[in-house]
Amino acid sequence: MVFEDFSSAHTTFLWATFAVALIMGAVVSKTGFCTMGAISDSVNMGDNGRMRAWFLAIAVAIVGIIIMESMGIMNADSAFPPYRASRLIWGENLIGGIMFGVGMTIASGCGNKTLIRIGGGNIKSVMVLAIIALIAYYMINPFPDSDKTLMSVLFYDWIRPMSVSLTTNQDLGAMLNPENPVQMRMYIGSAIALVLLFIIFKSRDFRQNHDNIMGGVVVGLAVLAGWYISGALIKINADGDLLSLSSYYHDWDMLTESEAGKPFEMRSLNTQSFTFINPMGQTYGYVTGGFAAKYLTFGLMAVFGVISGSFLWSIASKSFRIEWFASFKDFLNHVIGATLMGFGGVLALGCTIGQGITGVSTLALGSMIALASIIIGCAMTMKIQLYKMMYEDASFMAAFITGLVDFRLLPKGMRKLEGV
């Protein structure tokens, strides 16, 4: 789509993002697509249906992006956030992912699930959103009248030295074939997708579960739509040259006399797709900025769209209901969980959707580390919760060690509690 001015192009960009997010929110609410739920079903009940739905979303996203990149439709090398950056922040991916996995388990859901629950009337999740938004904002942006951020104060000096500078981008295609990364991504992505699809559809129960199939396909397609909208759909005709939104912004002073309508920052116009922790931080900036249009971003429209889609489905299905904290312990758990999600999501550069699907679709090594770490953090927390519930007098360490034994990370002789 080609526009003659930035304002029309930017408006279309934002509303297209909202429309895709609204559909995703409604479908996720309808089908029960949930990362934490998928891990819980697998760990506690041995049911891998929702896990397969999550893998299906990943497979769809991988296939779509390698096709679009091979055809020259879009390029995720300069995406926001920088999934394929040459600096591999593996320590942040690892530690942030574990923190996020623990946090989402304690707070009853990941970033996407928090928005889904808000749309369904859950007031607890509004508080979770508020805490994540505050932390995520100040992890990146300086405190008032200061040049310090939460990242610089708490993490940067000890965690950033763990990073590794690569000679190529960190996606598997560039690392294995720097001369032709697009072709290598096609080979690797196709192989990963085929393996995932085989694992997914070999289950007869999954093949018969239309909700799981719908959830996986729609979420995967939504991620692809995000990549397409931000990376290929919108073009501006500037004196005969077709420019992307970010390119136009870069040359704003030469192309536009007025500052009116100029977004707050250029990176919000880069090629990107769905992620929810940083956009939650952007909601804080939007609110404190007086709801000014210049603070509207892809991420903000994604947040609003998912909540709206979930709300519409909850009304249509008559499942909307107000939910509040059951006890002070429940309140405290959500505060702790939200805090861990805020810190962990920013460190890891994303959440279960942002890194687990969007990031992994770029075949970035850091995204894969973050995804594995989120799963480990969530699964271990669930094991500890289970053993603490079954054995009220058991210590945290006993439950932790027993959980590691269950996952075959420690020998059976180290088991402290009987298996459940």
- Residues 84-109: pLDDT tens digits? 999 999 999 999 999 999 999 999 88
Please state, in angstroms and rounded to a whole number, the distance separating the CA atoms of residues 157 and 386.
36
* Burial tier of 385 (Cβ tally within 10 Å: 0-12, 13-18, 19+): middle
Please state, in angstroms and rounded to a whole number, the distance separating the CA atoms of residues 51 and 212.
9
Answer yes or no: is 409 within a domain. Answer: yes
Confidence grade of residue 239 (pLDDT, cut at 50, 70, 90): confident
Query: What integer pLDDT is reported at residue 155 of this predicted model?
Result: 97
User: What is the pTM for the complete model shown?
Assistant: 0.95
Average pLDDT of span 12-18: 97
* Burial tier of 326 (Cβ tally within 10 Å: 0-12, 13-18, 19+): exposed
pLDDT digits (tens, 9 = 90+) for 402-414: 989 988 888 988 8
Residue 209, pLDDT > 90, answer: yes
Answer yes or no: is 344 within a domain. Answer: yes
Please state, in angstroms and rounded to a whole number, the distance separating the CA atoms of residues 230 and 272.
6
Answer yes or no: is 348 within a domain. Answer: yes
Q: Find out whether 367 and 83 touch, Cβ atoms under 8 Å.
A: yes
Q: Find out whether 359 and 83 touch, Cβ atoms under 8 Å.
A: yes
Please state, in angstroms and rounded to a whole number, the distance separating the CA atoms of residues 351 and 349.
7
Confidence grade of residue 76 (pLDDT, cut at 50, 70, 90): very high
Query: What integer pLDDT is reported at residue 393 of this predicted model?
Result: 86
Read off the tokens for 256.
């536009």
Answer yes or no: is 419 within a domain. Answer: no
Please state, in angstroms and rounded to a whole number, the distance separating the CA atoms of residues 420 and 406.
10
Please state, in angstroms and rounded to a whole number, the distance separating the CA atoms of residues 91 and 98.
11
Domain count, the chain: 1
HSE-CB of 124 using CA atoms within 13 angstroms: 23
Answer yes or no: is 156 within a domain. Answer: yes
- The type of residue at 358 is T
- The chain-wide mean pLDDT, for the chain, equals 94
Please state, in angstroms and rounded to a whole number, the distance separating the CA atoms of residues 57 and 360.
11
pLDDT digits (tens, 9 = 90+) for 115-143: 999 999 999 999 999 999 999 999 999 99
Average pLDDT of span 254-275: 90
Query: What integer pLDDT is reported at residue 218 of this predicted model?
Result: 97
Query: What integer pLDDT is reported at residue 258 of this predicted model?
Result: 81
Query: What integer pLDDT is reported at residue 238 of this predicted model?
Result: 86
Average pLDDT of span 190-211: 95
Please state the three-class secondary structure of the chain as a single string.
Answer: CEECCHHHHHHHHHHHHHHHHHHHHHHHHHHCCCHHHHHHHHHHHCCCHHHHHHHHHHHHHHHHHHHHHHCCCCCCCCCCCCCCCCEECHHHHHHHHHHHHHHHHHCCCCHHHHHHHHHCCEHHHHHHHHHHHHHHHHHHCCCCCCCCCHHHHHCHHHHHHHCEECCCCCEHHHHHCCCCHHHHHHHHHHHHHHHHHHHHHCCHHHHCCHHHHHHHHHHHHHHHHHHHHHHHHCEEEECCEEECHHHHHHCHHHHCCCCCCCCCCCHHHCCCCCCCHHHHHHHHHHHHCCCCHHHCCHHHHHHHHHHHHHHHHHHHCCCCCCECCCCHHHHHHHHHHHHHHHHHHHHCCCCCCHHHHHHHHCCEHHHHHHHHHHHHHHHHHHHHHHHHHHCCCCCHHHHHHHHHHHCCCCCHHHCCCCCC
Confidence grade of residue 304 (pLDDT, cut at 50, 70, 90): very high
**Cα torsion at 179, 85, 94, 113 (round to 10°)?**
-110
Confidence grade of residue 312 (pLDDT, cut at 50, 70, 90): very high
Between β-strands 2-3 and 235-238, what pairing exists: parallel, antiparallel or unpaired? parallel
Answer yes or no: is 420 within a domain. Answer: no
**Residue whose tokens read 């480990």:** 376
Residue 290, pLDDT > 90, answer: yes
Answer yes or no: is 65 within a domain. Answer: yes
Residue 44, pLDDT > 90, answer: no
Answer yes or no: is 202 within a domain. Answer: yes
User: Taking CA 293 as the corner, what is the angle to CA 292 and CA 294, rounded to the nearest 5 degrees?
Assistant: 90
Domain that holds residue 399: 2-414
Please state, in angstroms and rounded to a whole number, the distance separating the CA atoms of residues 72 and 77.
12
Residues facing residue 67 across a β-bridge: none
Query: What integer pLDDT is reported at residue 356 of this predicted model?
Result: 95
Please state, in angstroms and rounded to a whole number, the distance separating the CA atoms of residues 196 and 363.
14
Average pLDDT of span 189-202: 96
Residue 210, pLDDT > 90, answer: yes
